Structure 1
């Protein structure tokens, strides 16, 4: 099975029948408190970056919805200083990458972007939201799967390897604060290119 098909099955277009609960963009606000536990209990600090991954649609309506996202984030940048950029990865998926030292502003901006696409009728195109943390040169991500309506941890270690033990520790520590994915087969590895973030 190719990487693109796996992404579609686990995070995107092929798992409606496998969804355990309906995704709710309000779930994203769970990170507003969970990040405090990441730092206080586990020593992971926010990197100041988060991202929203979605699949484009070649239609006028979608282009208008994407323009609405850009407008919302531009207003947000004026108010909070959260910088936003749009990039496309090597698999053809689009990302809204957000940067802000204030973690709660990041969470709010990710929510605004996701909610704007949902209001435009393109919630089914949302794949995942990622929040990144660092500890002693280890980067860990909390991934929110919109198709599963749940979070899961992802800790890449390079060379398409992951630290499963640390992922289980993260899940165990934050299970009471976040709606976590119980089926670990859906903890999809969003591999970065080299040492970069998954969004490049």
Structure 2
């Protein structure tokens, strides 16, 4: 951002990053072994759709890649619009690594087509004594835990405990104000 952008109050959206997206693969082992939290067979990636022919081309390419990938890995997928008009690519597979790889595939394709700013987050669902979502924020290039308790309440003590236990293995968002609750996750 240049000096004129600053003076005139213009800002650019932060670029989406996928550098540390694969960290969840190794963290998965610690979560399961030490904490008894196992990955569910479902995860998703959320992005803000826009109306443009370039965007439709990217979406078609993503669907083609996922169709091809599903033949190779058995990962099933579906697209779903949520109540806030965000588009979700929901992936299901018994092999966690296949889900992580496909989320990376979708995000990289969006970035390559110039739609990185549309990427919001990737969400990995884990289950133990409670449901834990590990949310990857593409703009911050970091993860944070989200543990819903029901009726739009969250279990902050468990979230902070998970942060303390996993910060050596996962790039955890340090600013807890950016640990946005995501209600209505469609899986």
What is the match of residue 4 of structure 2? none
TM value normalised by structure 1: 0.85
What is the match of residue 104 of structure 1? 97
Contact 1:53–1:127, Cα closer than 8 Å, also in 2: yes
Deviation at 1:117, TM superposition (A): 0.6
> What RMSD over aligned residues (CA atoms) do the two structures have, in Å?
1.4
Provide Cα deviations, 1:112-136, integer angstroms capped at 9, x if missing partner. 0111111111000000000000113
What is the SS of the residue equivalent to 1:113? helix
Structural mapping, 1:1-200, within 5 Å: 16=13, 23-136=16-129, 138-192=130-184, 198-200=185-187
Which segment drifts farther, 166-175 or 180-189?
Answer: 166-175
Aligned residues: 177
Provide Cα deviations, 1:96-152, integer angstroms capped at 9, x if missing partner. 00000100111000000111111111000000000000113x110000011211110
Deviation at 1:26, TM superposition (A): 3.2
The CA distance in 2 between the partners of 1:24 and 1:149, in whole Å, is: 5
The CA distance in 1 between the partners of 2:19 and 2:88, in whole Å, is: 20
Give 5+ residue unaligned stretches, structure 1: 1-13, 193-197
Contact 1:26–1:111, Cα closer than 8 Å, also in 2: no
Over 3 Å counting, the alpha-carbon distance change for 1:135 and 1:39 in structure 2 is: same
The CA distance in 2 between the partners of 1:119 and 1:188, in whole Å, is: 27
The CA distance in 1 between the partners of 2:149 and 2:28, in whole Å, is: 21
What is the SS of the residue equivalent to 1:28? coil
What is the SS of the residue equivalent to 2:42? strand
